[in-house]
Structure 1
Amino acid sequence: MTSTAPQHPSDQTRVNLADVTPPIALGPLDGRYRGAVAPLVDHLSEAALNRARIQVEVEWLIVLCNGTVAGEAGTTPVAGPVVPGAPTLSDAEIAYLRQIPATFGADEIAELGAIERETVHDVKAVEYFIKRRLAADVAGKFLGETSLPAASELVHFACTSEDVNNLSYALMVRGAVLDVWLPAATALADQLADLAREHAAVPMLSRTHGQPATPTTMGKELAVLAHRLRRQLRRIGAAEFLGKINGATGTYGAHTVAVPGADWPAVSRAFVEHLGLTWNPLTTQIESHDWQAEVYADVARFNRILHNLATDVWTYISMGFFTQIPVAGATGSSTMPHKVNPIRFENAEANLEISCSLLDTLAATLVTSRLQRDLTDSTTQRNIGPAFGHSLLAIDNVRRGLTALAVSAETMAADLDANWEVLGEPVQSAMRAASVAGVEGMENPYERLKELTRGHRVDGPAMREFVAGLGLPDDVAARLAALTPASYVGLAERLVADHLD
C-alpha cells in the first residue's frame, strides 16, 4: 500500500550550501558584516599570517648574508655575513627578496596552500615556497649572475617555527591595532567628544540608582565616557609588541653550534628591533605572549566602556532625551510602522560582548604554555581576527548610531521641571554653610529638607516658599530663589571645556 502522508520538508532533496561556489562564509564577519571589518583581513587573516612569515624569513635571510644594522637600543651592528661563507646580497637581490612578500596574492596563496597539503606543516611550507624562488632559474631575473641559489639553505636557518610565528603575529597585531582598530576607535572617541562639546550646556536630570538626582548636562555625561575611552586609547597606542628569535628552547643552541663565533643575542636583538618590535631576551620555545595579554586586556576594557556608552545612550533614547533621525526607506519594526529602534547600539552591545569573551580567552590562554612549549596558542591566536573584528564592527555601529541622534532639550527640560525636590541638596548645603558662618536657625538642615522632599513631589513655588522661611542672609536667599533644576548644573560646562582634550 502506497503511503499518502505528506513528505516532511527535511526529506526533500535540497542544495548543500557547503558546496556552493563561491564558498559561503560560516561566520557573520566574513559574510553579513564583511564590509565593516574587511580592513582587518590585510592583517589578521591566514593569508596575512603567511605573508608575515614570508617577510620574517626573507629579512632573516638578508641579515644572515649581509649582517645587521644597529638596533634601537644601540646594538653593535655586524658588518658582513653573520654566517661565514654566506653570499653578500646586492641591492637588486635584496629588492627581489622583499618583493616575495610584497607580491603575495591569490596565485601565491594557492601555491603555498598546495605545498602545505604536502608538508602538513604551515611554516615548513613557507620555507619551501621561498626556496622555490631561490632556485637556479632565478638567474634569469637578473642582468648577470646571482648568488641567491647559494643562499637557499640559509632560509629558516637555526629557526624553530615559533621564531617565525611569534614575530609574524607581533607584526600582524601591531598592524591591525595601529593601522585599523586604533584609528577607528580614535575617530569614535573624537566624534563623542564633539557631541559632548556641542551639548555641554544642555541641562539634564541625573539618575543615580535610577532615581532623580543632582542635575548635570548631557555634554558633561558624554565627556565622561569620551575621557574614559581616550585613556584606554593612550594605553593601547603605547603598547609594546615583543618578539624573539633564539631557537627551539630559547638558548641559541643550534646557532652557537653551527656558528660559534657570532654574538647571537646581539644579532637577535638587532633583527627584532629592525622589524620595529621590542626584543624579548628570555623565552622558552615560544615568546611568552604576555604583551598580547596586555593589549587584549586594554582593548577589552575599551570595549566595556563602549558597552557602557551603548547602554546609556539606549536608555536616554527610551527616555526621550535623544531622538533618532529616521533613515529614508528603513524599517524599524516588521509590524509597528511608527518605530525607530536603537538597533545600532543594540548590535554594538552584542558584538562588544562577543569581542570581550574572545579577548578574555586569548589573554587567559596565551600566558600559559606547558613547560617549554605546547600548541594551545596555535589555534588560539588564529582567533585574534574575530576578536578585533567584533570590536571593530561595534565601533562602526556606535559611530553610525551617534550620527543619527538629536538631543531633545525640551524633553530634558520638562523632566527637570518635574523634579524640584533635587534642589534639597543645594538648599541644605547652603544652610550648613550659613550655620558655620554664625547664622541662627539653621539647625538640622538635612533632616528638614528630607522631611520636605523625600517621597514627595515638590514644585517651584513650594521650594521657594520653604527657602523664604528659613531666615537665610539676603544674598543666599536670593541665590537659592533664583535656582532651578535646569540651572543647578554646577561646573558641568566648564569641566567639559577644561578637561576634554
Structure 2
Amino acid sequence: MPDQSASVPAAASASTSPAGSTAGRQSLAEAGIPVGPLDGRYRSAVAPLADHLSEAALNRNRIHVEVEWFIHLCAQSVLPGLSPLTAEQEQGLRAIVTDFGTEGIEELAGIEAITVHDVKAVEYYISARLEDLGLAHLKPLVHFACTSEDINNLAYAVGVRDAVEQVWLPAADQAVAKITAMAEQSAAVPMLSRTHGQPATPTTLGKELAVFAHRLNRQMDRIRQQEYLGKINGATGTYAAHLSAAPDADWQQIARTFVEHLGLTWNRLTTQIESHDWQAELYADMARFNRILHGFCVDVWSYISIGYFKQIPVAGATGSSTMPHKVNPIRFENAEANLELSNALLDSLAATLVESRWQRDLTDSTSQRNIGVGIGHSLLALSNVSKGLTQLDVAEDVLAHDLDTNWEVLGEAVQTVMRAQAIAGVEGMEDPYERLKDLTRGQRVDGERMREFVQGLGLQPEAEARLLELTPATYTGLAHQLVTPQQ
C-alpha cells in the first residue's frame, strides 16, 4: 500500500508546523488558567457569585441542608432513640458548614473521586466528623430517607435565592438608581423625539430615561416577590421510605417545617425532583429585565452616536488603537453582548428545567450547573452599565440645536388647536391635518414660517397667542412632571 502521508502538505500537520506546535510551551491548563471569561478577564465583576453559585458553594449548601435535616429530625424525635441535640452539638454540626473552605473542598473532591457521586460524598464528609461531636452513633441519620434530589433542590434554591437577593438585585438597584438619577437631573432638558427614526413630537431626555427606570423597576419588583420552592419527600415524592421507618410520624408536616426553616416555600407535590417551575419563572423575569436593559443600552449608544451625550474620557484609556480622537461607547456595547449571552442561558434553563421524563431524568443536573454563568453575564452587564453612566455628560447644546432645526414638529400642536377651534365653532378651521401636511411634510419649516402660518389661520386671540409662544423646546407637555412618580 503506498505511503499516503507524503500527499499531506507539511503545513497541515500541527506536529511539524512551527505555528501549530505546542512543543516547549508551558501548559496553561496545568497553570490553572480559566477557560471562560467570567473566571478570567471579568472575574472581579462577578466574583461575589462564587459564594452562592459555584460548585464549591453548591457543596457547602448541600452540607448545610444535610446538617439542618439531621438537626431537624433530632428535634422532632421522629425515630426511637432520637432526642433534641444540645446547643453545643448543634453548634458543632453547623460549624461543619461555616468551616467549609479550601481544605474541605479538596477533601470532599477526594471522597467524590472514590464514590463517583457528589451527594454521597457529602454524606460521607459529614459522617466523618460526627465522632468528634460525640454523635458517631447517629451516622445512619445523615441523609436519612433522602434521595439526592432532596438535597440538591434545596441546595440550589438556597444558592439561587442568596445570589439573587444578595448579589444580583443590589447590582440591578445600583444601575437603575443611576438611570433614575440621570432622569431626574435631565427631567426638564428638552429633546427631539425620533419615532421611526424621524423627527417627532419633542420630549425631555429625563422622561425618556425615566421610562426605562420605570420598566426595570417593575421587573425587579416581580423578582423581589419570587418564591423559592423546595421539597424533601423521597425517591418518587411519596414519603415511602419515611413511612417504612416511622409510620406514625406526620412526614408532610415535618417536611414542610423543614423547608420553611431554610427560608423556602414548601412544594408539597412532586415527582423525585422539585419541578423547577419557580426557576423558570425567575429566569423569565430576569431575562425580561435583561431585554429592557438591552434596549436602554442600544438607545444610549444611539444618543451617543448623534452627540446627545458626550463621553468623559478616562485618563490613560485608549479608544482606538489607530485613531487617537476616538472615545468608544464600549461599556454599553459590552453590556449588550453580555445581556444576550445571559438570556441565551436563562431562556434555555427556563425551557429545559420544567420538563423531566417520567419521575426523573438528569437533564436538570447539567443545566443547573450553568445558573451562575447565566446570572454572571447579567451581573457583568450591570457593572458595565453603571460604569458607563458615570462617564456621560448631557450635551444640551446639541439637543437644543436639533430642536431649533425641526420646527415642523409643531405641526401636531397647530392642527390639534385648529380641531379644538373648529369644535368651538370658529370658522376657517377646515382640513387642519391636511393643511399642516402641505406645510410640513418633506420640507423644513423654520420658526418664522411657522408663525406666519399660525397668524394667517384666523384663530381666536388666546389660542393664537399660545401657539405663537410655542417652540420645539417648549412643546414637551408634561414630560418633566412624568419623571417623578405620583404619590
Q: TM-score, normalization: structure 1?
A: 0.93
Q: What SS class does the counterpart of residue 17 from structure 1 fall into?
A: coil
List per-residue Cα deviations over 1:12-66 (Å, max 9, x = no partner): 6242534432x00000000000000000000000000000000000000001111
Shift of 1:88: 3.1
Residue 49, structure 1, aligned to residue 68, structure 2: no
The aligned counterpart of 1:228 is 215
The aligned counterpart of 2:156 is 169
The aligned counterpart of 1:317 is 304
Shift of 1:361: 0.2
Which residue identity lines up with residue 367 of structure 1 in the other structure? Answer: V
Q: What SS class does the counterpart of residue 214 from structure 1 fall into?
A: strand
Residue 113, structure 1, aligned to residue 109, structure 2: yes
- What's the C-alpha RMSD, in Å, of the aligned pairs? 1.3
Shift of 1:191: 1.1
Q: Quick one: structure 1 residues 14 and 318, their matched pair in 2 at CA, closer, same or farther if it must change by over 3 Å?
A: farther
| d(CA) in 2 for partners of 1:320, 1:127 | 61
| d(CA) in 2 for partners of 1:498, 1:239 | 24
The aligned counterpart of 1:60 is 69
The aligned counterpart of 2:80 is 84
| d(CA) in 2 for partners of 1:33, 1:487 | 45
The aligned counterpart of 1:475 is 462
Which residue identity lines up with residue 469 of structure 1 in the other structure? Answer: G
List per-residue Cα deviations over 1:232-273 (Å, max 9, x = no partner): 000000100000000000000000011101000000000000
| d(CA) in 1 for partners of 2:17, 2:150 | 59
| d(CA) in 1 for partners of 2:372, 2:336 | 19
Counterpart of 1:251 (choices 216, 238, 245) is 238
Shift of 1:86: 1.8
Shift of 1:89: 1.2
List per-residue Cα deviations over 1:177-228 (Å, max 9, x = no partner): 0000001101111111011000000000000000000000000000000000
Q: Quick one: structure 1 residues 444 and 339, their matched pair in 2 at CA, closer, same or farther if it must change by over 3 Å?
A: same
The aligned counterpart of 2:3 is none
The aligned counterpart of 1:73 is none
The aligned counterpart of 1:8 is 18
List per-residue Cα deviations over 1:399-425 (Å, max 9, x = no partner): 000000000000000000110000000
Counterpart of 2:100 (choices 104, 117, 121) is 104
The aligned counterpart of 1:337 is 324
Residue 487, structure 1, aligned to residue 474, structure 2: yes
| d(CA) in 2 for partners of 1:374, 1:498 | 48
Aligned residue runs from structure 1 range 341-380, under 5 A: 341-380=328-367
The aligned counterpart of 1:142 is none
Counterpart of 1:383 (choices 351, 361, 370) is 370
Q: What SS class does the counterpart of residue 233 from structure 2 fall into?
A: coil
Q: What SS class does the counterpart of residue 285 from structure 2 fall into?
A: helix
Does the CA-based 8 Å contact 1:63-1:82 persist in structure 2? Answer: no
Shift of 1:83: 1.7
| d(CA) in 2 for partners of 1:204, 1:373 | 57
Range with greater deviation from structure 2 (184-193 or 384-393):
184-193
Aligned residue runs from structure 1 range 138-287, under 5 A: 138=132, 146=134, 148-287=135-274
The aligned counterpart of 1:126 is 122
The aligned counterpart of 2:383 is 396
The sequence identity of aligned pairs, in percent, is 65
Shift of 1:92: 0.1
Q: What SS class does the counterpart of residue 209 from structure 1 fall into?
A: helix
Which residue identity lines up with residue 318 of structure 2 in the other structure? Answer: T
Does the CA-based 8 Å contact 1:87-1:151 persist in structure 2? Answer: no
| d(CA) in 2 for partners of 1:55, 1:405 | 45
| d(CA) in 2 for partners of 1:401, 1:427 | 40
Q: What SS class does the counterpart of residue 321 from structure 2 fall into?
A: coil
Shift of 1:82: 1.5
| d(CA) in 1 for partners of 2:20, 2:253 | 65
Shift of 1:429: 0.1
| d(CA) in 2 for partners of 1:458, 1:19 | 66
The aligned counterpart of 2:4 is none
Spell out structure 1 runs of 4+ moving beyond 4 A.
4-7
Q: What SS class does the counterpart of residue 316 from structure 2 fall into?
A: coil
Q: Quick one: structure 1 residues 14 and 434, their matched pair in 2 at CA, closer, same or farther if it must change by over 3 Å?
A: farther
| d(CA) in 2 for partners of 1:352, 1:439 | 55
Q: What SS class does the counterpart of residue 216 from structure 1 fall into?
A: strand
Shift of 1:7: 5.6
Q: What SS class does the counterpart of residue 328 from structure 1 fall into?
A: coil
Number of corresponding residues: 474
Q: What SS class does the counterpart of residue 9 from structure 1 fall into?
A: coil
The aligned counterpart of 2:90 is 94
Q: What SS class does the counterpart of residue 484 from structure 1 fall into?
A: coil
Shift of 1:9: 1.7
Counterpart of 2:34 (choices 25, 32, 39) is 25
Does the CA-based 8 Å contact 1:47-1:109 persist in structure 2? Answer: yes
Q: TM-score, normalization: structure 2?
A: 0.96
